[in-house]
Amino acid sequence: MAVSVIIPALNEEEWITGATTSARESGAAEVIVVDGGSSDRTARFATAAGARVILSDPMRARQLNRGAEAAANPFLIFLHADSRLPAGGVRAVQEALTEIVFGGFRIHFAEPDRKLRVAEKMINLRSAITRAPWGDQAQFIARSTFLDSGGFRDIPIMEDYDLAQRMKKSGRTRILPLAVTTSGRRFLQKGLFRTAAINWWIIARYHFGVDPKELARDYTT
């Protein structure tokens, strides 16, 4: 079955061509860039790279849901704008979704920094144990399963974590051995251990019922 790749974007002109091109070269039948109101050339570059561009409110969950609703194919991959699908990634997803309900890829950071090699190992170990990939790991799912489940929650943060947890409860999940290449810019800006600590503190507070709007504010500060 064919695959649509959904890419949410907001002012990502530096990255969007690479993300779109990687999706097409990996075998996607359709690439949809959902622009959240960019003021730069994101939409223009995405169109030039072969993507279908649609507009949405500037919140990632809404952008992803909008893309999934518009998708023409039965399988979906959600790819961040600063990420790249590996060669063979689409075929691997097609094969996996005949056996499981949800999954993601391993992760590799693009920048040549030793701290990021440590971060990769931490993330890939966590994923191997939990089988609940986060958004930067290119989550994939059947479109019908996604829509029937209600899609991503309409929240400003943790929508990817929430979907992974729900899908894990509903059926088999898997982390593919192929790796998505993504930017480690947040780790480099804030530091490895500070970023990891913030991520897990956000998750803990999310489970304790803290308002996602408050979590989103804390994540960006």
Token look-up 């960019």 returns: 38
Q: What are phi and psi of 108, to 5 degrees?
A: -135, 130
For the chain, how long is the longest CA-to-CA vector? 44
The strands making up 75-78's β-sheet, listed across from edge to edge, are: 52-55, 30-35, 3-9, 75-78, 140-142, 102-109, 173-182, 83-84
* pLDDT recorded at residue 25: 98
Q: What are phi and psi of 212, to 5 degrees?
A: -55, -25
Structure token pair of residue 123: 């993330």
Which residues are registered as beta bridge partners of 174?
103
Q: Which of 83, 71, 188, 59 is nearest to 134 (CA)?
A: 83
Architecture of domain 3-189: Alpha-Beta Complex (3.90)
* pLDDT recorded at residue 166: 98
* pLDDT recorded at residue 218: 86
Per-residue pLDDT of the chain (221 residues; tens, 9 = 90+): 899 999 999 999 999 999 999 999 999 999 999 999 999 999 999 999 999 999 999 999 999 999 999 999 999 999 999 999 999 999 999 999 999 999 999 999 999 999 999 999 999 999 999 999 999 999 999 999 999 999 999 999 999 999 999 999 999 999 999 999 999 988 888 888 888 888 999 999 999 999 999 999 988 87
* pLDDT recorded at residue 191: 86
Which residues are registered as beta bridge partners of 173?
102
**Helix, coil or strand: residue 76:** strand
User: Which DSSP helix (H) or strand (E) runs through 174?
Assistant: strand 173-182
32 and 56 in contact (C-beta within 8 Å)? Answer: no
Instruction: Tell me the Ramachandran region of residue 200: left when phi exceeds 0, alpha when psi lies from -120 to 50, beta otherwise.
Output: alpha
- CB-based contacts of 210-213 (< 8 A; 24+ apart in sequence): 212/155, 212/156, 212/157, 212/158, 213/156
Domain ranges of the chain: 3-189
Residue 211 half-sphere exposure, CB side, CA atoms within 13 Å? 3
Q: What is the pTM of this model?
A: 0.96
Task: Report the length, in residues, of the chain.
Answer: 221
Token look-up 């920094």 returns: 113
Structure token pair of residue 148: 């029937």
86 DSSP 8-state letter: P
